[in-house]
Amino acid sequence: MPEAITIAVDAMGGDDAPSAEVEGSLQAAREYGARVLLVGREDELGKELRKHGPVPSAVEIVHAAETVTMNDNPARALRSKRGSSIRVAAEQVRRGRARGLISAGNTGAVMAAALTVMGRIPGVKRPAVAQAFPTLKSAWTLLLDVGANVDCSVDMLVQFAVMGDVYSRVLLGCENPRVGILSIGEEEHKGNGLTGEAYPLLKRQPLNFIGNVEGHDLYSGKADVIVCDGFTGNVALKVSEGLVAAIKSMLRESLEATVVRQIGYGLAKGAFDDFRTRLDYTEYGGAPLLGVKGGVIICHGRSNANAIKNAIRVAVELEKGGINQKIERNLERSLERV
Amino acid sequence: MPEAITIAVDAMGGDDAPSAEVEGSLQAAREYGARVLLVGREDELGKELRKHGPVPSAVEIVHAAETVTMNDNPARALRSKRGSSIRVAAEQVRRGRARGLISAGNTGAVMAAALTVMGRIPGVKRPAVAQAFPTLKSAWTLLLDVGANVDCSVDMLVQFAVMGDVYSRVLLGCENPRVGILSIGEEEHKGNGLTGEAYPLLKRQPLNFIGNVEGHDLYSGKADVIVCDGFTGNVALKVSEGLVAAIKSMLRESLEATVVRQIGYGLAKGAFDDFRTRLDYTEYGGAPLLGVKGGVIICHGRSNANAIKNAIRVAVELEKGGINQKIERNLERSLERV
């Protein structure tokens, strides 16, 4: 039996912390054979753990007295709260006590902790947050960056493409990922200054580059990996979240309007649940932060135990798939072509 | 009875041209008392018109021998095809024969024709395309620019805010529009270089400025007007279109999976139709191009007769509401505050 992979879980981060983190960690230990370091206030975590019966040896508490809140300034909180759960969790990875890290806390603080405590993979200019979108063809399209870097340079976009390509192969099972650049028209000349400069560079890369794609291609299945600056990517992600919420709410209103429709809704409910699951990103274990030393998964603040469990699974798979070694190697090859 | 307002309709533009344009124009003449100049090949338009019986005096054909296609380079086609329907339609407005223009043709060509033939309102740096999104609160949120200007300067964003504010008051019935800037966090410091510079300038404007809003606020009803650069806006619009299409398709698949669900679907169908209508932008008559002399409505290439009719209605309302005079006046006031 291969040695279990250890993941550090920031147990104080999410809206439902620490109960979602504790329950998700116990599930991940049981279902995937993962080892988990639960990082947070010892007394609180102990009490929460004991609610679930005898504590398995695969789950261990690492004490951290402080917490970075959603209202904290990330960089400042990371410096002033040296005993914060996110910082202590990142230190577990730096010291080799864990191979990856997950957190449903302040996203900026997770990125700052990963960057300053764990550090970047050699050759990486800036890490990027990648988000997988479900497509019509039952596959996934990976968009990056969705928020780590608001103003991007051309070579950052090229690196995002290389990292996204590796992630798509290793984690999403895509054999030869089609890589596109997010723009506002298919033709090479359509786009802004950044996309116009990035296009010829991407063409020279050892990637299956398919050129410009558009906003609707997040869901069309035309590309497996789409790169963009973190400002545009974050807007695209949040527009999607807002629209899904709006559609759910509009449908609910419409369906409550008459008794006949209510009966219809009752009969069609299974379909709604299918569809909600396919669009519910929290079901899929958060978004990886690519480019840092160790697997980092950023979870939604609203993560439940299931989301935490899935995030731990993805962090384990990142390590098993050797994603960071592959990113480092491919970035070296990429540099030869820029 | 007030004098009828005349709108020039590029009758050769859309995927369904000229039949959708002709039918929509006849409906608009009948329902709104609009006068319509149908611009395109005389023989073809005459034949199409006669299919609908006697031609009313409010609908007149203006001959244009050429057509700009979706594959043409807009600027080049506008120069080389001087007899194109979009150019001739714009000339009707410049010469005072019509007060507005609608087209479902090549969007770039519509913008180029409006800009070069009709010209800008005094004080306007660049026109912007505005798109109204339906919100949870049964109101509309106007996003601009959604594609006319890929790289925007700070003062362009300020002008978009002024123009959007006027449009929201005049066309969307909003008394004191809440104006936001699209960014990736609510706090003033969150955003990219452009939004960071625009924020303090917008704060000084005589507008109801509410600060940064995020992607999900396109649908939340938090703002009535949201400004952004045309690259980001175009991505936001196309992500929305793609997601609506994906959801429709996923729901259809799910609903066909079992007989019980099919029955449920039959009963709930009214609700789906409601919801589709609320999200179907083509129902609402296209997107205005704000900042040019004359009311210009850019319609979706797939526009049907109903969409054309609605676009003509909006073009008439722009003129009736005196929107361009108001934009000119408010831009003057705005300049004093920059």
Per-residue pLDDT reduced to its tens digit, B55-114: 999 999 999 999 998 888 888 998 999 999 999 999 999 999 999 999 999 989 999 999
Output the DSSP codes for A1-61: -PPPPEEEEETT-STTTTHHHHHHHHHHHHHH--EEEEEE-HHHHHHHHHTTSSPPTTEEE
Question: What average pLDDT does the structure give for chain A?
Answer: 91
- The CA distance from B187 to B200, in Å, is 12
CB pair distance less than 8 Å for A219 and B182:
no
State residue A256's pLDDT score: 75
Output the DSSP codes for A125-177: SS-EEEEEEE-TTSSEEEEE-SSS-SS--HHHHHHHHHHHHHHHHHHS--SS-
Token readout for A322 is 């050797």
State residue A312's pLDDT score: 96
CB pair distance less than 8 Å for A184 and B235:
yes
Of B117, B83, B42, which Cα lies nearest the Cα of B292? B117
Q: Does residue B195 carry a pLDDT above 90?
A: yes
Q: Are A59 and A82 in contact (CB under 8 A)?
A: no
Strands A140-144 and A225-227: what pairing? parallel
Residue A330: inside a domain, yes or no? no
**Do residue B309 and residue B238 come from a single domain?**
no
Token readout for A216 is 């609707």
Q: What angle do CA B130, B136, B141 make, to 5 degrees?
A: 15
Of A80, A35, A33, which Cα lies nearest the Cα of A62? A35
- Domain total of chain B: 2
Q: Which residues of B touch A246 (CB under 8 A)?
A: 134-136, 219-220
Of B274, B25, B83, B195, which Cα lies nearest the Cα of A256? B274
Q: How many other CB atoms sit within 10 Å of the CB of residue B271?
A: 25
Token readout for B221 is 């009803």
Say which residues have a Cβ less than 8 Å from residue A75's Cβ, sequence separation at least 6. Answer: A108, A112
Q: Mutate which of A231, A251, A278 to test chain B, going by most B C-beta atoms within 10 A?
A: A231
**Do residue B140 and residue B271 come from a single domain?**
yes
Q: B135 at the A interface (CB within 8 A)?
A: yes
CA A160 to chain centre: 14
Q: A2 at the B interface (CB within 8 A)?
A: no
pLDDT tens profile A68-121: 988 888 889 989 999 999 999 999 999 999 999 999 999 899 999 999 999 999
pLDDT tens profile A220-260: 999 999 999 999 999 999 999 888 888 877 777 777 777 87
Size of interface A-B (CB pairs under 8 A): 203
User: pTM of this prediction?
Assistant: 0.91
State residue B277's pLDDT score: 66
How confident is the model over B280-294, as a mean pLDDT? 81
CA B23 to chain centre: 20
Token readout for B159 is 């002008």
State residue A167's pLDDT score: 96
CB pair distance less than 8 Å for B274 and A254:
yes
Residue B334: inside a domain, yes or no? no
Helix or strand (DSSP H, E) at A102: strand A100-103
Token readout for A195 is 């996309």
Residue B257: inside a domain, yes or no? yes
Residue A181: inside a domain, yes or no? no
Q: Are B45 and B22 in contact (CB under 8 A)?
A: yes
Say which residues have a Cβ less than 8 Å from residue A133's Cβ, sequence separation at least 6. Answer: A140, A141, A142, A143, A218, A219, A240
State residue B338's pLDDT score: 63
How confident is the model over B226-235, as a mean pLDDT? 97
CB pair distance less than 8 Å for A244 and B247:
yes
**Residue type at B249 in one-letter notation:** S
Interface of B with A in 7-36 (CB under 8 A): none
- The CA distance from B218 to A251, in Å, is 18
ipTM of the prediction: 0.89
Looking at per-residue pLDDT, the higher value among A24 and A335 belongs to: A24
Residue A280 confidence class, pLDDT cut points 50, 70, 90: low
Longest dimension (CA), chain B: 66
Q: Provide the residue range defining the domain that includes A295.
A: 1-124+291-321
Residues making up chain A, counted from first to last:
338
**Do residue B86 and residue B133 come from a single domain?**
no
State residue B204's pLDDT score: 94
CB pair distance less than 8 Å for B258 and A236:
no
Sign of the Cα torsion B321, B322, B324, B330 reads negative
The DSSP symbol for B205 reads: S
Q: Are A111 and A127 in contact (CB under 8 A)?
A: yes
Q: Does residue B283 carry a pLDDT above 70?
A: no
Residue B11: inside a domain, yes or no? yes
Edge-to-edge order in the sheet of strand B208-213: B59-63, B35-40, B6-10, B100-103, B295-298, B287-290, B128-134, B140-144, B225-227, B178-182, B208-213
- The CA distance from A233 to B1, in Å, is 52
**Do residue B165 and residue B296 come from a single domain?**
no
How confident is the model over B317-337, as a mean pLDDT? 91
Q: A139 at the B interface (CB within 8 A)?
A: no
Residue B145: is the preceding peptide bond cis (ω within 30°)? yes
**Do residue B84 and residue B140 come from a single domain?**
no
**Do residue B13 and residue B34 come from a single domain?**
yes
Q: B186 at the A interface (CB within 8 A)?
A: no
Residues making up chain B, counted from first to last:
338
**Do residue B236 and residue B147 come from a single domain?**
yes
State residue A279's pLDDT score: 61
Any idea what the CATH number is for the domain that residue A73 is in? 3.40.718.10
Q: Does residue B267 carry a pLDDT above 80?
A: no
Torsion angle (degrees, nearest 10) of CA B109, B110, B111, B113: 80
Q: A150 at the B interface (CB within 8 A)?
A: yes
State residue A249's pLDDT score: 79
CB pair distance less than 8 Å for B240 and A243:
yes
How confident is the model over A131-147, as a mean pLDDT? 87
State residue B245's pLDDT score: 82
Q: Nearest chain A Cα to B269, which residue?
A: A261
**Do residue B232 and residue B265 come from a single domain?**
yes
Helix or strand (DSSP H, E) at A271: helix A259-279
CA A138 to chain centre: 19
- The CA distance from A108 to A75, in Å, is 8
End position of a domain, from candidates B283, B307, B331: B283
Torsion angle (degrees, nearest 10) of CA B177, B181, B184, B186: -60
**Do residue B19 and residue B66 come from a single domain?**
yes
Residue A185: inside a domain, yes or no? no
**Do residue B99 and residue B236 come from a single domain?**
no
Q: Which residues of B touch A136 (CB under 8 A)?
A: 246, 249-250
**Do residue B78 and residue B186 come from a single domain?**
no
- The CA distance from B200 to A63, in Å, is 43
State residue B41's pLDDT score: 97
Residue A31: inside a domain, yes or no? yes
State residue A283's pLDDT score: 61
Residue A134 confidence class, pLDDT cut points 50, 70, 90: confident
Residue A176: inside a domain, yes or no? no
Residue B205 confidence class, pLDDT cut points 50, 70, 90: very high
How confident is the model over B175-201, as a mean pLDDT? 93
Q: Which residues of A touch B192 (CB under 8 A)?
A: 150-151, 229, 231
Looking at per-residue pLDDT, the higher value among B261 and B176 belongs to: B176
